């Protein structure tokens, strides 16, 4: 059988033959497949939870050229799941830390580092240089941006997403197949779906979902097996259950449908309702600085401090005077409060408590304020012995 080697593909060196021998002896990969991997160009968006296993295994598999887009810096809270970074890397650029690990795993791989925030101005040019894009991002604006750019350029988008102990994975925009907008035409408004920083994530989960993405990327390159196209894979780590739902192309899809209305990249911050930022919404509900709250406590002011976080977060740290009413219970338990009371609400960072303030205001409470920056700001400004998480 003739080996269909692209022009730029050299042969494998003696060292590489040894390195990839467990691939080479497998007919599904073989020399032909390994050369395909070597000539492949894959772009990873994000070098975090999903990017960690992706980067390590794609490098190990011998993908010839791996691009990485990330502008973040490694911090201690990353280490619970981002295994491409180590304790010694805290404070380093994630790109540098990831590249160092990947280079150590496989020095025969070319690594392109893009220390930028992906946006509508740079996405098409960047994506254009690669065969496929792997979406390991953490927010809706970037996910819609990655999707639209992939559809416009006709590049597969290997998608994975995680929340707490549940994950989703699929391959979008593969040979005209369904895209992210076919699945979800619009993003949730800011604040309605809890973020990972609020909701947490089981550290092992991105490992598994990232490896599903890596597997699919390698299969697409090899052209072998049945790609995860037209199927949405759902994984529930608690139940240890995989499920599969049908994913159909939506003929009305604004970007890949029969009559697309999105024919170039748009402003994704605005599309996701983040136009002027969430800060203003929080501001409008009336903020109070943690220092001022502390002064009120010290003065013995007559007011009620309510913590709207979840009980397990309360166990990590709390303000002694605070009464715990998780956000999900505020509606039900507001009868424990008086509309004339002076109330200050707080959460971890200030987003959930802003929602709680809105709930009470809509119910007729007049003197409700949100503690700016939540218990994190309390730790910074009032009591450094309160641990941050």
Partner 1 sequence: MAKVLIPTPLRQYAEKKDTVDLHGATVGEVLTALTTQFGDLRKHLFTDEGKLRSFVNVYLNDEDIRYLNKDKTEVKDGDTLSIVPSIAGGLYAG
Binding site residues, partner 1, CB under 8 A: 46, 48-50, 77-78, 136-140, 143, 161-168, 183-188, 192-199, 201, 206, 232, 234, 239, 243-248, 250, 310, 326-328, 331-332, 348-349, 351-352
The phi, psi pair for 37, rounded to 5°, reads -60, -40
To partner 1, the closest distance from the beta carbon of 36 in angstroms equals 30
- Which CB, 47 or 132, lies closer to partner 1? 47
Whichever of 50 and 134 has its CB closer to partner 1, that residue is 50
Task: Exactly one of 150, 179, 182, 347 is catalytic; name it.
Answer: 347
Give the ranges where the chain is alpha helix by DSSP (H). 14-19, 21-24, 30-39, 51-61, 94-105, 123-128, 140-153, 180-183, 196-199, 205-222, 268-271, 279-284, 290-299, 311-316, 327-333, 351-362, 374-381
Minimum CB separation of residue 140 from partner 1 in Å reads 5
Pick the closer one to partner 1 by CB: 78 or 101.
78
Structure tokens of 385?
């012995």
Instruction: Return all residues near 104 (Cβ < 8 A) that are at least 6 apart.
Output: none
Whichever of 102 and 183 has its CB closer to partner 1, that residue is: 183
**Cα dist from 158 to 44, 75, 123, 176, 381, whole Å:** 9, 26, 16, 14, 42
Of the two residues 106 and 351, which places its CB atom closer to partner 1 in the complex?
Answer: 351
End-to-end CA distance of the chain: 57
Dist. CA 125–CA 204, nearest whole Å = 33
Nearest to 331 by CA among 365, 286, 304: 365
Strand order across the beta sheet in which 157-163 lies: 110-114, 65-69, 41-45, 132-135, 157-163, 166-172, 231-236, 241-246
CA distance 344 to 353: 9
317 is catalytic: no
> Which residue among the candidates 150, 196, 272, 317 is catalytic per the annotation?
196
CA distances from 188 to 46, 60, 164, 167, 211 (A): 21, 37, 18, 17, 27
Q: Respond yes or no: is residue 272 known to be catalytic.
A: no
Minimum CB distance to partner 1, residue 91 (Å): 16
**Shortest gap between Cβ of 196 and partner 1 (angstroms)?**
5
Record the tokens describing residue 291, joined without a space: 């220092």
Taking the least distance from each CB to partner 1, the nearer of 107 and 275 is 275
Least distance CB 251 / partner 1 (angstroms): 10
Question: CB-wise, 50 or 179, nearer to partner 1?
Answer: 50
Laid out side by side, the sheet with 343-346 consists of 287-288, 368-371, 343-346, 304-307, 323-324
Q: How far is CA 27 from the centre of its chain?
A: 35
- Separation of alpha carbons 370 and 305, rounded Å: 10
User: Would you please indicate which residues are annotated as catalytic (active-site) residues?
Assistant: 196, 347
């Amino acid at each position: 059988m003739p080996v269909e080697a692209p022009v730029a593909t050299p042969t494998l060196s003696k060292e590489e033959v040894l390195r990839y021998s467990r691939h080479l002896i497998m007919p599904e990969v073989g020399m032909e497949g390994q050369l395909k991997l070597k000539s492949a160009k894959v772009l990873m968006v994000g070098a975090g939870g999903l990017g960690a296993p992706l980067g390590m295994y794609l490098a190990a598999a011998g993908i010839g050229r791996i691009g990485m887009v990330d502008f973040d810096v490694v911090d201690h809270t990353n280490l619970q799941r981002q295994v491409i970074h180590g304790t010694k890397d805290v404070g380093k650029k994630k790109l540098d830390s990831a590249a160092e690990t990947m280079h150590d795993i496989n020095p025969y791989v070319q690594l392109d580092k893009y220390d930028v925030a992906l946006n509508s101005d740079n996405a098409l040019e960047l994506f254009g240089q690669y065969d496929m894009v792997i979406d390991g991002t953490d927010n809706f604006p970037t996910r819609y941006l990655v999707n639209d750019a992939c559809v416009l350029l006709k590049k597969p988008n290997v998608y994975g997403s995680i929340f707490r102990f549940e994950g989703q994975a699929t391959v979008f925009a593969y040979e005209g197949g369904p895209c992210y907008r076919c699945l979800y035409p619009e993003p949730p408004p800011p604040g309605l779906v809890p973020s990972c920083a609020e909701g947490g994530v089981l550290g092992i989960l991105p490992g598994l979902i990232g490896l599903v993405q890596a597997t699919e990327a390698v299969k697409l390159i090899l052209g072998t097996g049945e790609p995860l196209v037209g199927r949405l894979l759902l994984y529930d780590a608690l139940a240890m259950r995989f499920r599969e739902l049908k994913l159909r192309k939506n003929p009305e899809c604004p970007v890949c449908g029969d009559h697309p209305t999105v024919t170039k990249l748009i402003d994704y911050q605005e599309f996701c309702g983040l136009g002027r930022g969430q800060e203003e919404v929080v501001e409008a509900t009336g903020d109070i600085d943690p220092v001022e709250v502390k002064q009120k406590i010290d003065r013995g002011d007559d007011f009620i401090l309510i913590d709207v976080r979840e009980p397990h977060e309360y166990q990590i740290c709390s303000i002694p005077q605070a009464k715990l009413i998780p956000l999900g219970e505020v509606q039900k338990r507001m009868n424990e409060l008086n509309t004339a009371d002076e109330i200050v609400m707080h959460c971890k960072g200030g987003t959930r408590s802003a929602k709680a303030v809105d709930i009470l205001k809509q119910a007729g409470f007049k003197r409700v304020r949100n503690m700016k920056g939540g218990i994190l700001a309390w730790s910074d400004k009032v009591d450094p012995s309160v641990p941050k998480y």
